[in-house]
Amino acid sequence: MTLDATDRRILSALQKKGRMSNADLSERVHLSPSACHRRVQRLEQAGYIRDYVALLDARKMGVPTTVFVEITLQGQADEVLEAFEKAVARIPDVLECHLMAGTADYILKVVAEDTEDFARIHRQSLARLPGVAQMQSSFALRTVFKTTALPV
């Protein structure tokens, strides 16, 4: 499926406000409501739209501290990577895990209440991850900007 300009306008609008009604969306992208609905369904079926979610405020949820953790594993064998990835995916405080090229094998994005809470997460979860040779944590002082919107 190739995206045209109308598909891109739909995706852009939904990234900004996923709960927009079909009537509002169709007006914004200059389509009839039925044509707009069909396009959205097609974009969902093709996998361009994976889900609709609520973005929560980390501070109000009690986890205002963001920590980026660089992980170096003891080896690069498939079974080492798979064991690490399965285990890290089970830690609810880890929001993202990225396999990297460079000095670290993985970078994790972790949220915590504060430094004390991160120390608990480190002791009880991160330090127990299989295959880890080294960990280095960096605390975000402030988030300059953050978006979930992909360029369309």
Give the CATH number of the domain where residue 29 resides: 1.10.10.10
Based on the structure, what is the number of domains in the chain?
Answer: 2
Q: Are residues 132 and 76 in the same domain?
A: yes
Output the six-digit token pair for 127.
């330090």
Render pLDDT for 102-129 as a digit per residue (tens, 0 to 9): 999 999 999 999 999 999 999 999 999 9
Mean pLDDT score, 26-36: 98
Q: Are residues 76 and 132 in the same domain?
A: yes
Q: Are residues 24 and 78 in the same domain?
A: no
**Residue at token pair 């809470």:** 117
Give yes or no for a contact between 121 and 112, defined as CB atoms under 8 angstroms apart. yes
Q: Are residues 41 and 80 in the same domain?
A: no
Which residue segment(s) compose the domain that 40 sits in?
5-45
Burial of 9 per CB tally in 10 Å (0-12, 13-18, 19+): middle
Given this model, what pLDDT does residue 62 score? 98
Q: Are residues 27 and 92 in the same domain?
A: no
Given this model, what pLDDT does residue 146 score? 95
Asked, for residue 52, whether it belongs to a domain, the answer is no
DSSP 105: S
